[in-house]
């Protein structure tokens, strides 16, 4: 009798609909509401300047920022313009995880992949989109090696709660 009850319970669990799990791939881009403010934290930007989609060369996140606050990174070849890459990266950051989990994003070209990326030694220069769980500050950037971190755009996403 108990075995029939157990078997029936087990079968009902197996056929019960379950939520669709997210598919593999990058985070879904989500439009950033107009009441949110995006501020460019790169050292060249004024503290109150809006995020520009015009990239700059030569700034990279410090190792402290990346080791302590990096949420997500993707490295890819892109046919999008730098302005479109910046928009997509910021929208993916906004759509990442729970609301407000991703606070800032950086996108640029000629960014080296990390050691161990897909089992490689790293160092391959690609376009990258990086997400952080903290707002970036101009003091968290350092000079990049020549030819790396080209067309870099970054943004802190501030939204009312």
Burial of residue 139, with CB atoms counted within 10 A of its CB: 0-12 exposed, 13-18 middle, 19 or more buried: exposed
User: Which pLDDT does position 43 carry in this prediction?
Assistant: 86
Residue 123 resides in a domain: yes
User: Which pLDDT does position 25 carry in this prediction?
Assistant: 62
Asked if the model's pLDDT at residue 13 lies above 50, the reply is: no
Closest CA to 65 of 125, 135, 153: 135
pLDDT band at 12 (very low <50, low <70, confident <90, very high): very low
Residue numbers of the domain that contains 108: 26-158
Count of domains for the chain? 1
Q: What confidence tens digit (pLDDT) does each residue in 33-73 have?
A: 999 999 999 987 543 344 444 567 889 999 988 899 999 99
Residue 70 resides in a domain: yes
Residue 14 resides in a domain: no
CB 145 within 8 Å of CB 88: no
Residue 46 resides in a domain: yes
Listed in order, strand segments (DSSP E) in the chain are 37-39, 59-61, 70-76, 104-112, 125-132, 141-143, 150-158
Residues forming beta bridges with residue 127, ordered by sequence position: 76
119 phi, psi to nearest 5 deg: 75, 15
In whole angstroms, what is the distance from residue 29 CA to residue 26 CA? Answer: 9
Residues forming beta bridges with residue 56, ordered by sequence position: 152
Q: What confidence tens digit (pLDDT) does each residue in 124-134 have?
A: 999 999 999 99
Residue 20 resides in a domain: no
Residue 140 resides in a domain: yes
In whole angstroms, what is the distance from residue 150 CA to residue 118 CA? Answer: 23
User: Which pLDDT does position 77 carry in this prediction?
Assistant: 86
Residue 124 resides in a domain: yes
Residue 8 resides in a domain: no
User: Which pLDDT does position 79 carry in this prediction?
Assistant: 85
């Amino acid at each position: 009798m108990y075995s029939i009850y157990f078997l029936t319970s087990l079968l009902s669990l197996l056929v019960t609909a379950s939520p669709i799990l997210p598919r593999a791939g990058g985070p879904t881009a989500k439009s950033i509401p107009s009441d949110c403010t995006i501020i460019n934290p790169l050292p060249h930007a004024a503290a109150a300047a809006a995020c520009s989609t015009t990239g700059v060369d030569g700034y990279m996140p410090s190792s402290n920022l990346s080791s302590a606050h990096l949420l997500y990174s993707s490295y890819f070849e892109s046919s999008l313009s730098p302005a479109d890459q910046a928009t997509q990266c910021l929208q993916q950051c906004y759509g990442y995880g729970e609301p407000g989990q991703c606070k800032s994003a950086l996108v640029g070209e000629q960014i080296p992949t990390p050691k161990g990326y897909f089992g490689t030694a790293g160092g391959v220069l690609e376009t990258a989109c990086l997400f952080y769980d903290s707002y970036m500050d101009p003091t968290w950037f350092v000079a990049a090696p020549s030819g790396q971190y080209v067309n870099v755009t970054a943004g802190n996403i501030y939204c009312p709660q």
